[in-house]
Chains A and B, each alone.
Chain A
Amino acid sequence: MINEIISNIKNVWGEFGFTPPFPENMKVLLQSRNRIILFFIDPEIGNFPQVIVKLNRPDNEKSWHEDYVMHSQKIREMLDGAMKDTIPRMEAFQLQDSITGVIEKGIPGYPINVITKIKENEYHKFANWLVEFQSYCSVNQLEISPGFIENQLERITSEYHFRNETVIKIREVFYPLIGIQTSIGWLVGDTHPSNILINKGAVGGVVDWEGVSENNLSIYDWYQFIFSVVIENVKATSRSLTHAEMMRMGSDLLFSNPKTKLAKILNRQTDNYLISKGLNPELKFNWFILFLVDYYWIKNKQEFLHDLLPGIL
């Protein structure tokens, strides 16, 4: 299939701003996870992929490539100058009847490394990037109302069958948020550190826009980022944990017992982020619980919240 993939890349090579012809000595790095990703690297241009091709598996019926490419390119058009360059150019394509894919223009930089070294500066830069991104992509303000809170509580009662005492505790956590105005708009959706590319000490790009969505609380992107950072650390240090155990450890590490260097850094950065959004940093834990209930995507969310929330509350 490599020949068909290359021929699709050649179709957009010029449009992506590269000088034709397509280099013959391109090296390919294959990554096999939920999707198949091919990184095309021309060593003469640099140590980063010039083009990235993402393919869905033919046995995976769900294909959402066209939607997310359309949304991410719409967002790209909303941005200016250097910010615009941090979102990759993308084109959706059909490889075979059953395989759809996306060709993405590579962005120089490396993913934030959260396992082997912790660089506060990189987290800080990402927080700044996010604040700027949200200044372009926040479409409205939402005032957290008692009705909004009750809707959330009703959902966890009916969908997740929470006990009454847990619902009462969650209500207590949510109530200080009432009356606060916060922005809603486009979310990156998957601000996992591996999707944030750092180049020369700044955020060079944000990749993987499959989770892009509209009309959500903007702060969720930040909580997604910090929670992913701690979860990756838990994964690296503690093996053979169940998913719920991992999440519980991550939450504890982040807010209940923030003694580690990483937790202190993330707490500090969260305070700064909330202040720059005009929000009270003392409510960071309350926003975190709202993020878990309202937005955080996970398989078996019902089971997960049921195990997790009573513990961390």
Chain B
Amino acid sequence: MNIEDYFNCPNCNSDLNRINNGYQCINCSSDFHHKGGLPNFLPEGINTELSKIPHPEKLYRKAKKIGWETAAIEFTRDYLDSRDYIEYADKQIISEAPGDFQYLLPINKESIVLVIGVSWGNIISALTRNTKFVFALDVNADLLHFSELRLQQERLSNIKLIQGASSSLPVKEMCFDAIILNGSFEQLVYERLNNFSDQLVSDFLTKIFYALKPDGILYIATENRFNFNYFIGKKEAYSNLRFVTILPCKVVTHYFKLRRRINFRCAYFSSRKLKNMLVESGFGNVVFNFPIPSYRNLRYMSEIENRAVYIYLIKLLGSFPKFSRLHSIAGLIFSFFPLSILKFFWPDFCIVAKRP
């Protein structure tokens, strides 16, 4: 698989030519040299400090020496200040289960998939096992290098990792059978906090739409802006403040500009807004799935809007120890209300949209 057959110039969208140690745009002559052994399509002015790992060189060195899995556990113990570090490392870093959503997508051994946001490499390795080829793009070099090492040690070779920004997506048209954004939709906002506009999201979705082959699938896993936890005081992860997601965006942006002198914009959207944006970008058949407990730690996923499925799910969860009596009662009470209320307040969404 040649990069230049699937990716183009992030500045002018023209084709690329392979040159020594990188690629060159045939139109604007921009050079994109490999950086740290990976193709680098990052434009100027992009915030690459997202999901920054503390002491990445130590993690990388350790992973090379003792294997990525043991290194991840030791790293979690040393730096992530989590009491249940083994459970955290197992569920969030090592386990490929967060990639199980792929079993609900129409992809197979013939599919070519683009993953935006590599995280710890668990989702891309899960996808690599079941598809023909995976291209994985992320702004953060540390995560890319760790993922690369993980894939090498797992002997998974049908993948190419690329450093690039979702806000300047360098993808060609009609190339991919599926595009996956697992927790990386908000990355788009954070990359361009200084000059963010809603148009940026529309352009991004339109570009994704055209990058998909006909009948191609876009999968987005993201948090809900109106997640009920935000109403009871959960802090927003990026700003570490309460209630910023549920207040009007303009109010929050002005507050940050005046009091903190920084640019900030809530990166989450409501289900209605997300659906509208997808439909406006051309997607048809937009289906919302609801993960439990979250898309980061996927245990169950379904369309809860159907009452039969919802009731079965609640009964199924009754035999699950972490699902308390309170959860069970709340779940049954909600079954008497229109399930669209649940959809409005559900913490996360896993959206599957199809290019007609």
Q: Which of B97, B298, B308, B318 contacts A111 (CB 8 A)?
A: B318
CA distance A33 to B321 in the complex (A): 14
Which residues of B approach A to under 8 Å, CB–CB? 83-84, 96-97, 100-109, 129-130, 154, 298-303, 306-309, 311-313, 315-316, 318-325, 328-329
For B308, the chain A residues whose CB sits under 8 A away are: 27, 41, 43, 46-47
Residues 156-207 of A contacting B (Cβ, < 8 Å): 193-194
CA distance A306 to B101 in the complex (A): 40
* 25 A–B contacts from the bound complex (CB under 8 Å): A1-B107, A2-B106, A4-B108, A27-B308, A27-B309, A28-B302, A30-B100, A31-B299, A46-B308, A47-B308, A48-B312, A59-B96, A59-B154, A110-B312, A111-B316, A111-B318, A115-B321, A116-B318, A116-B325, A116-B329, A193-B319, A232-B321, A233-B321, A235-B322, A240-B83
Q: Is the CB of B300 within 8 A of A2?
A: no
CB distance from B319 to the nearest CB of A (A): 4
Q: Is the CB of B109 within 8 A of A2?
A: no
* Number of cross-chain contacts by CB at 8 Å: 121
Whether A38 is near chain B, meaning CB under 8 Å from some CB there, is: yes
For B106, the chain A residues whose CB sits under 8 A away are: 1-3
Q: Is the CB of A236 within 8 A of B108?
A: no
Identify the closest chain B residue to A32 (Cβ): B100
Q: Is the CB of B104 within 8 A of A47?
A: no
Known: A58-B130, A116-B324; 4 extra A-B contacts, CB below 8 A, are A1-B107, A96-B108, A113-B318, A115-B325
Whether A5 is near chain B, meaning CB under 8 Å from some CB there, is: yes
Identify the closest chain A residue to B329 (Cβ): A116
Given A1-B102, A39-B312, A57-B96, A115:B109 Cβ within 8 A: no
CA distance A99 to B322 in the complex (A): 29
Give the interface size bracket for A toward B.
35 or more
CA distance A236 to B317 in the complex (A): 12
CA distance A46 to B315 in the complex (A): 14
CB distance from B287 to the nearest CB of A (A): 10
CA distance A112 to B315 in the complex (A): 9
Identify the closest chain A residue to B98 (Cβ): A32
CA distance A235 to B323 in the complex (A): 11
CB distance from B117 to the nearest CB of A (A): 19
Given A115-B321, A116-B318, A236-B321, A29:B109 Cβ within 8 A: no
* A204-238 contact mask (Cβ, 8 Å, vs B): 1 or 0: 00000000000000000000000000001101100
* A125-138 contact mask (Cβ, 8 Å, vs B): 1 or 0: 00000000000000
CB distance from B83 to the nearest CB of A (A): 8
CB distance from A178 to the nearest CB of B (A): 38
For A4, the chain B residues whose CB sits under 8 A away are: 108
Q: Is the CB of A112 within 8 A of B319?
A: yes
Whether A55 is near chain B, meaning CB under 8 Å from some CB there, is: yes
CB distance from A183 to the nearest CB of B (A): 29
Q: Is the CB of B315 within 8 A of A99?
A: no
Given A36-B100, A43-B309, A46-B308, A1:B318 Cβ within 8 A: no
